[in-house]
Amino acid sequence: MNDMNPKIKETITAIQSFDPALGARVQARLDDQAIPRGALGRLQALGKQVALIQNTVRPQIRTKKVFTFAGDHGIVEEGVSAFPQAVTREMVKNFIRGGAGINVLARHGGAEVIVVDIGVNADPDEFDGVEPCKVGRGTKNFTRGPAMGREEALASLATGIGLIEKYGDDLDLVGTGDMGIGNTTPSSAIAAVLCDRPVAEVTGRGTGIGDTALQHKVAVIEKGIACNRPDVSDPIDVLAKVGGFEIGGIAGLILAAAAWRIPVVIDGLISTAGALIAHSLAPQVSHYMIAGHRSVEVGHRVMLDRIGLSPLLDLDLRLGEGTGAVLAFHIVEAGVKVLNEVLTFTEAGVTEGEDQKAVR
Tell me the per-residue pLDDT of 160-177, one tens digit each, with 9 for 90 and over.
999 999 999 999 999 999
Dihedrals φ, ψ of 231, to 5°?
A: -85, 110
What span, in angstroms and rounded, lies between the C-alpha atoms of 171 and 335?
18
What are the residues whose beta carbons fall under 8 Å from the beta carbon of 292, sequence distance 6 or more? Answer: 175, 265, 266, 267, 268, 311, 312, 313, 324, 325, 326, 327, 328
Catalytic residue positions, numbered: 321
**Model pTM above 0.85:** yes
**CATH 3.40.50.10210 is held by the domain 64-331:** yes
CATH architecture of the domain with range 7-59+339-358: Orthogonal Bundle (1.10)
179: left (phi over 0), alpha (psi -120 to 50) or beta: beta
3-state secondary structure of 38: coil
Q: Domain ranges in the chain?
A: 7-59+339-358, 64-331
List the chain pLDDT tens, one digit each, 360 residues.
Answer: 677 789 999 999 999 999 999 999 999 999 999 999 999 999 999 999 999 999 999 999 999 999 999 999 999 999 999 999 999 999 999 999 999 999 999 999 999 999 999 999 999 889 999 999 999 999 999 999 999 999 999 999 999 999 999 999 999 999 999 999 999 999 999 999 999 999 999 999 988 899 999 999 999 999 999 999 999 999 999 999 999 999 999 999 999 999 999 999 999 999 999 999 999 999 999 999 999 999 999 999 999 999 999 999 999 999 999 999 999 999 999 999 999 999 999 888 887 665 555 555
